[in-house]
Structure 1
Amino acid sequence: MKFEGVIFDLDGTLVDSLEDIADSMNSVLQGCGFPSHDLRSYKRFIGNGIKNLVSEALPETFRTEELIDKCYNFMVEKYRYNFVNKTRPYDGIAEMLTELTARKIILTVFSNKADELTKKVVKALLPSWKFEAIIGSSNDIPRKPNPFGALLISRQLSIAPENLIYVGDSDLDMQTANSAGMYAVGALWGYRTKEELVSNGAQYLLYRPLDLIKLL
């Protein structure tokens, strides 16, 4: 099979944003008088958008729609100013992107992070590589595992889904890839486990970023 492009998840795949997200949300929780969480907990919370993260982080008995909305607004505002304090590309990402570019493989990003922040993170931390499409969640783009965004990228690039590799670190990414008819690849350096990736349809596993080149 000839692969012509790659769709990357962002958080937990290209960049490690765990600490900035945790710091921002813990600040919101503390400001509201609630207990904070450790990084291990945030590995579970991340992946399905900030609003879901806010809901998961709040004590279960306080998860009213009104409070979730209030804390979501606080979180978005806090994270908007702290999204690259500690966030960095994973080791090996730069070399992988350079090698893919040299092989004329098209690079794209599809994230459940808000579209505005997705574009800001890529611009700030991955400026040396050209991404033909960068898409986050919005009113027009439903969150993963809905494959709409992945299939939109396929249409924009005029590349058939079966000729696209989809790389992510979570169950939602593997479900999205398979629903879109793309080649599902799990990144083992991310926030979730090998078992989760395999049980949700990973067709190939990466132990380090440059392992992706073996598929080409």
Structure 2
Amino acid sequence: MKRLAIFDFDGTLFDSVHDVIVCFNKALSMNGFPTLTREEYIERLGGNIDEIVSLILKDKNSKENIELIKKDYQKLYDESNKDNTLPFPNSLEILKELQERNILLAINSNRTTDSIKYFVSNFFKEIDFVSIEGHNPDFPSKPNPYGVNNIIKKAGVSLDEVVYIGDSKTDIKTAKNAKIDCILVSWGYGSKKEYEDKYILEVIDDMYQLLNFFD
């Protein structure tokens, strides 16, 4: 039986891409770089901030340019209202239900821990997450299982009692590297090609389907 559910953040619990796109395009325009479309951004998401900026800049991804865009993006994002970053439908209800079933809950993301905690404190106040592991530049980021391993150790459960819930190939690789099961959600930023990966237990179209794994 599963006792610990580890959730990805962007594209799984929260629809966050719009605010990210707006701030990245502003940072690119300010520095004379071409902007990208929503589809182009989604293709580049999943890694840590340095990896994402490198992909956004394409052949202009020198170390200096990466640092320049990253700095301006982070300033713009930190100062923005983030009004368009909202939980996906039924996320809070399902987290509450899982919590009532005594399932341990955690978040593992390449977004910074402080950023995750900001949204959790605003939207998921009723949820007691056993651990929130965001990106820390001093440690490996997803798909390295470093964060997942920390969560599992803190939760005190065995690998077969854990399931990772995400939306992209990065999440599948993270689960594989951690040797834990994986569920993919269809409402995030993944693609149909990723849904065909035989490693995942199931692709779900509704948050309520998660409850089937915790009977």
TM-score class, shorter:
over 0.9
Q: Name 2:10's counterpart in structure 1.
A: 11
Report the identity percentage: 29
State the Cα deviation string for residues 142-190 of structure 1 (Å, max 9, x = none): 1111111101100001011210110001111111112212111101111
- Two-structure CA RMSD over aligned residues (Å): 1.5
Displacement over 6 Å in runs of 4+: none
Q: Could you tell me which of 164, 167, 174 is aligned with 2:165?
A: 167
For residue 75 of structure 1, give the secondary structure of its aligned residue in structure 2. helix
Give the drift of 1:35: 2.0
**Contact map agreement 2:166 2:184 (CA 8 A) in 1:** yes
In structure 2, the residue corresponding to 1:112 is in which secondary structure?
A: strand
Q: Which runs of structure 2 are paired with 1:1-216 in the superposition (5 Å)? A: 2-58=1-57, 60-82=58-80, 84-199=82-197, 201-216=199-214
Name the CA distance, whole Å, in 2 between partners of 1:141 and 1:63.
Answer: 22
Deviation at 1:124, TM superposition (A): 2.5
TM-score normalized with structure 2 length: 0.94
TM-score by length of 1: 0.93
Mark the runs of 5 or more structure 2 residues left unpaired by the alignment. Answer: none
Q: Is the 8 A contact 1:96 1:209 kept in 2?
A: yes
Residues 47 and 200 of structure 1, relative CA distance in 2, 3 Å threshold: farther
Which stretch shifts more, 85-94 or 111-120?
Answer: 111-120
| Secondary structure of the structure 2 residue equivalent to 1:150 | helix
Amino acid at match of 2:148: A
Moved more, 47-56 or 85-94: 47-56
Q: 1:190 to 1:155 in 2, by over 3 A?
A: same
Q: In structure 1, how many angstroms separate the alpha carbons of the residues matched to 2:90 and 2:61?
A: 39
Where 1:131 maps in the other structure, the secondary structure is coil
Partners of 1:9 and 1:144 in 2: CA distance: 10
CA contact (8 A) 1:184 1:203 kept: yes
Q: CA deviation at 1:198?
A: 3.0
Cα displacement (A) at 1:66 = 0.7
Q: Which amino acid in the other structure matches residue 13 of structure 1?
A: T
Q: Distance in 1 between matches of 2:168 and 2:140?
A: 17
User: Which whole-Å deviations, capped at 9, do the CAs of 1:3-38 have from their partners, x for residues lacking one?
Assistant: 111000000000000001001100101111222112
Distance in 2 between residues matched to 1:8 and 1:113, nearest whole Å: 13
CA–CA distance in structure 2, aligned partners of residues 22 and 207 of structure 1: 25
SS at match of 1:116: helix
